Structure 1
Amino acid sequence: MNSNFLMGRLSYISRVPSMTKYQTPKRLFSSKLKENDDAEEIPVNPLKTVYTASHQKGDGKFYDKKPFKITCEEGKVYHWCLCGHSKNQPFCDGTHNNVFLKIKHKPVKFTVTKTKEYYLCNCKRTQNRPFCDGTHKKPEIQEMRKY
């Protein structure tokens, strides 16, 4: 192949924006954006690098088609249920510790950098654990039923 052609393709590819696994388009996170609001800002778990629970393989048991809206306080540590068996959704109640249920997923510890309202994932399919990234809007998730 012509080296000029390859160099042209490489320069084109370097200009194309790429999305990593944990980045999500802002329009998926919040469908109702207000002026002068932080709703466009996609929350990130600052504890993700400290606790590996957010990197667990697979998804937990489906719980609900809609996210859970809650006010989280800055600096407070929360435990988001990934297994989907907690009776205290979206937070962990320790159900995953029952040896008879043989649950492999552990709760995800998280905190927030600003006190405000956040949407926590209830479908357990988010790529931005524990925060909702809009995955629940997909048709295959909307067809799922709560057991």
Structure 2
Amino acid sequence: MRRRGFLLVALVLLAVALGGVASAERTSPIRTLRIDEVTLLDLDGGTWLNDILVNVTVELQGGKDSLELTLTVTYPSGAVRVTEFEIKPSPSGLTLLNLKLLNWATEPGWYTVTIEAAYNGYDTITDPFPFDPEGGSIGPSGI
């Protein structure tokens, strides 16, 4: 009877120890997700400053196949525009993106840009990046 009690206690302790290992907290493979700069330009040669260039740094732990990104631009009026895309990170895990948003700057005032990354259930979102296109001047580039 004592032996059976000892065996039962040993099995309970083993189950608790293995349960702790199985439920160990996972860490996100997304090391860095950062908006470095947002600029108003004439990227399409249309002679209007109405294109937005967003420079983004993404760093993942090596060996990841692809990453889903969602870019959100909130306009001065409160309107929101969203685009989603997938990237294949470089072998080193560090990827620099230059996102060209043609004809997205349509109203004067402060815009807010955010980018969100999703990978196998992990979500990472940047802090909002506010920018005012050159004092709010959308229009002819003077070319």
The TM-score bracket by the shorter chain reads under 0.3
When the two structures are superposed, what TM-score results if normalisation uses the length of structure 2? Answer: 0.23
Q: Higher strand share goes to which structure?
A: 2
When the two structures are superposed, what TM-score results if normalisation uses the length of structure 1? Answer: 0.22
Q: Higher helix share goes to which structure?
A: 1
Which one has a bigger Cα radius of gyration? 2
